[in-house]
Amino acid sequence: MSLLASPAPSPTPSLSELPSLGEVSTQIASVCSNDTVLCATLAGWFDNAAWAPLVASLITVLLILVFGIVIRNIVLRLITRVVARTAVSGPLSGRWRKGSQAEGIDTLLRERRRQRAETMGSVLKHIATIVIIGTTLLTVLDRLTIPIAPLLTSVGILGVAIGFGAQELVKDFIAGMFMLLEDQYGVGDVIDTGAAIGTVEAVTLRVTRLRDSDGRVWYIRNGTITRVGNESQGWSRAYMDVPVSYTSDITTVRVLLEHVAEEIWADVEFRETMLVEQPKVYGVEQLSDSTLVFRLSAKTLPAQQAQVARELRLRVKSALDAADIAMVPTA
């Protein structure tokens, strides 16, 4: 006989110790009896038979699922209608002037507003789906007497862990949502984000994709953008400084530049496609012992200031040469 006693085997639960179908039915019946609005009413339709609470609870679960799906579809349709109405707006550039370019700009602005509205609508639809379906499933689990407290606790702990691990991602998403809501920039805009300057090619809730003048593509996380300079929103301004000799006649130079401004405004191609209003001559911008600097400024349509400025330089140079007035380098 061995001196060491063998350890007693761990008890294995038998089938008799597991909850029986009758016990589960009893739990469901107790839940059904507490629901005097729907489940108990359905059970009464079956003359309160022994199986009535179970059948009534199953019908209640089915109705909850159907109700959740219906509510989700209604909310998604409401979001779609709000997005469609938000995307429609009246002409904006027509308040400046009439013309084919104004209509083209209005079309671009509407398309930009439509893209922004659809992006926000997609985000709202995802959030609505998660909230409604999640609430529906938790209600069904509670109806089936499945304890949801441990599940909620686990989800809460998991959410805290994910929140700590994905702080930058959440920051990018929140910044992207506010950027879209405030319409800070959109596809096709020329912006300065500090880290890069270029044309926006794509905007998502997480990143913004830019292409600079060298063709280099930049991917910038929305959460890292602290300031944005948009050169394509509303209108832009082109200007050029004209340095002439100190001995030049101020009136003659000013009249010459005003003539250039009237000439480019009279050009149908520029007036209809690039300019918002007639260019202005602001007079002497700088004065030194050897140079007079005149400034010529023009308000242009978005992202057209560079082309207008180039045309102004050509016309001013030709006008000065014709008047035998030399431009001098500035210090």
Q: Is the pLDDT of residue 74 over 90?
A: yes
- Contact assessment for residue 305 and residue 251, using Cβ atoms and an 8 Å cutoff: no
Q: Is the pLDDT of residue 91 over 50?
A: no
Quick one: what percent of the chain has pLDDT higher than 90? Answer: 15
Q: Read off the tokens for 176.
A: 């992207």
Average pLDDT over residues 2-30: 48
Average pLDDT over residues 149-169: 75
User: Confidence class of residue 282 from pLDDT cuts 50, 70 and 90?
Assistant: confident
Question: Which run of H or E residues covers position 177?
Answer: helix 167-182
**CATH class of domain segment(s) 182-230:** mainly beta
Task: Specify which residues 220 forms β-bridges with.
Answer: 208
* pLDDT at residue 274, rounded to an integer: 82
Angle separating helix axes 149-165 and 167-182, nearest 10 degrees: 80
Q: Is the pLDDT of residue 327 over 70?
A: yes
Query: What is the fold of 236-322?
Result: Alpha-Beta Plaits (3.30.70)
* C-alpha–C-alpha distance, residues 218 and 92, integer Å: 31
For the chain, count helices (H), then strands (E).
Answer: 9, 8
Q: Is the pLDDT of residue 318 over 80?
A: yes
User: Confidence class of residue 12 from pLDDT cuts 50, 70 and 90?
Assistant: very low
**How do residues 163-181 score in pLDDT, each as one tens digit?**
776 778 888 888 888 887 7
- Kindly list the domain boundaries of the chain, sorted by start residue: 23-165, 182-230, 236-322
How many angstroms from the chain centroid is the CA of residue 245?
52
DSSP string covering 32-85 = HHH-TTTHHHHHHHTTT-TTHHHHHHHHHHHHHHHHHHHHHHHHHHHHHHHHHH
CB atoms under 10 Å from CB of 136, counted, come to 18
The answer to pTM > 0.75 is no
- Contact assessment for residue 312 and residue 296, using Cβ atoms and an 8 Å cutoff: yes
